[in-house]
Homo-oligomer: A and B are copies of this chain.
Amino acid sequence: MKKIRVYVAGASGKMGQEVIRTILKEDDLLLVGASDTRHQGMDVGFVVGAPRVGIDITGPLEIGNLRSSRADVLVDFTNPQSVLKNSKTAIMAGVVPIIGTTGLDEAEIGEIRTLVEKEKTGAFLAPNFSIGAILMMRFARESAKYFPNVDIIEMHHDQKLDAPSGTALKTAEGILEVREPMIQGHPNEYEKIQGARGADIAGIHIHSVRLPGLIAHQEVIFGGLGQALTIRHDAFSRETYMPGVMLSIRKSSELTELVIGLDNFLD
């Protein structure tokens, strides 16, 4: 079996390290390069707490290093600024970038699309690499066809600043593709204390729990005659993203266009 050759940008970051640790355990994947401004010149195994790998961390990503590595894909979970630059470098080098950021705007995504078409190389971009979370959103969308009444409870650690979470908002958007806006609850219901009924998006109520100790959890609860249907996802650690990243590597290596969203790689 020919192994898929993977280059990792941002190798010293938390996600970069996790990606590398996971790749090293997969039989069909081969780590062929790693870039980061930190730990330059150190063996990547040492940086991620694993045995020596034989690959040193280069400085910032360069097209020469990428080319000589003969990588199939570049995994990039760095910040939006680096991501755009790195992705372009990868595409020019004929390497498919796998981009994990929510920070690119429409214009920047347009730039990537144009370059992909010109260079006839693929690119993959996803705001969320959690397969479990994506299945949750998909099931929520399906359930809403039969159970229009739904509340979303998302629960995170108390250092999270924004509420509701991006995933909760995306879940609601998905539901609203199959369900009309409507008034949920009793038309005459009232709040004795403001906010009790949560955030209201076209009738869907989202409740944001923030507590120390929690990590990232979401419940989507559908209520119907005499029943409830609940879909819950718990993300316990950064590892939660790894099955999605590995799936993306396997599905992206032969891409010849820009694909957005992990959902495309699930049956």
Give A residues with C-beta under 8 Å from B. 130-132, 135-136, 138-139, 142-143, 145-147, 149-151, 153, 155, 158-164, 169, 184-186, 188-201, 205-215, 221-243, 266-267
Cα distance A209–B159 in the bound complex, in angstroms: 24
A251 to chain B, nearest CB (A): 13
Cα distance A210–B186 in the bound complex, in angstroms: 8
Cα distance A214–B234 in the bound complex, in angstroms: 9
Contacts A146-B135, A161-B189 given; does A224 touch B195 at CB 8 Å: no
Q: Are A143 and B135 in contact (CB under 8 A)?
A: yes
Residue of A130, A223, A225 with most chain B CB atoms under a 10 A cut-off: A225
Contact partner of A209 (CB less than 8 A), chosen from B139, B151, B231, is B151
Contact partner of A228 (CB less than 8 A), chosen from B132, B159, B189, is B132
Cα distance A224–B150 in the bound complex, in angstroms: 26
Residues of B within 8 A of A153 (CB): 153, 207, 209
> What are 7 A-B contacts with C-beta separation under 8 Å?
A131-B147, A139-B142, A153-B209, A162-B189, A164-B193, A196-B199, A227-B236
Contacts A199-B191, A201-B193, A210-B197 given; does A226 touch B231 at CB 8 Å: no
Q: Are B230 and A206 in contact (CB under 8 A)?
A: no
Contacts A196-B198, A238-B226, A242-B225 given; does A185 touch B210 at CB 8 Å: yes
Contacts A135-B143, A143-B135 given; does A225 touch B211 at CB 8 Å: no
Q: Are A221 and B212 in contact (CB under 8 A)?
A: no
Given A138-B142, A189-B210, 10 additional A-B pairs, CB 8 A: A135-B143, A169-B192, A195-B197, A196-B199, A205-B210, A225-B240, A225-B242, A225-B243, A227-B240, A230-B234
Residues of B within 8 A of A142 (CB): 135, 138-139, 267
Q: Are A186 and B158 in contact (CB under 8 A)?
A: yes
Closest to A148 in B: B212
Q: Are A207 and B207 in contact (CB under 8 A)?
A: yes
Q: Are A213 and B226 in contact (CB under 8 A)?
A: yes
